[in-house]
Amino acid sequence: MVPCASAEFRSAKDMQNECRIALGVIQGTAPKSSDNVLLAGECVGYVQGAVDASQALAENVSWYKVCTPDNISTLILIQKFIAFVDANPKYTLASTAVQMMLAHEFPCREKSK
């Protein structure tokens, strides 16, 4: 029997809640229980994966330009994601919210000549 495959659509609010827990774990204000560490790992992986994907996309297409600094911390990205979801409730999917946050926070600037 072949298992059924389906896409997972995470809500921005659900991911935001996981990222709030991640912040607490990273900053030492939330207990490092197995549940909290698992949720923190999901947030960190999701946000960092989205950044990695956006960089690859920006290098290969002309219509998507995000220039995330190489030295930005995952903690800052998580903080920006949480704030973006609060400020932009119209983006209900986590995947859309994180990409829109990146485009809003890290647009590519034209180099001065």
The per-residue pLDDT string of the chain (113 residues; one tens digit each, 9 = 90 and over) reads: 655 555 567 899 999 999 999 999 999 999 999 999 999 999 999 999 999 988 888 888 888 888 898 899 999 999 999 999 999 999 999 999 999 999 999 998 765 44
Tokens 């900053």 belong to 27
Is residue 16 domain-resident? Answer: yes
Is residue 3 domain-resident? Answer: no
93 phi/psi in degrees, rounded to 5 = -95, 135
Is residue 49 domain-resident? Answer: yes
Is residue 4 domain-resident? Answer: no
CA dist 104 and 94 (Å) reads: 15
CA dist 63 and 57 (Å) reads: 9
Which tokens is 13 given?
């609010």
pLDDT of residue 64: 80
Is residue 61 domain-resident? Answer: yes
Tokens 């219509």 belong to 63
pLDDT of residue 9: 79
Instruction: Look up the domain containing 67 and give its range.
Output: 12-105
Burial class (CB in 10 A: 0-12, 13-18, 19+), 52: exposed
Q: Is 67 helix (H, G, I), strand (E, B) or coil?
A: coil
Give the predicted TM-score (pTM) of the model: 0.84
Number of domains in the chain: 1
Which tokens is 25 given?
């774990």
Is residue 112 domain-resident? Answer: no
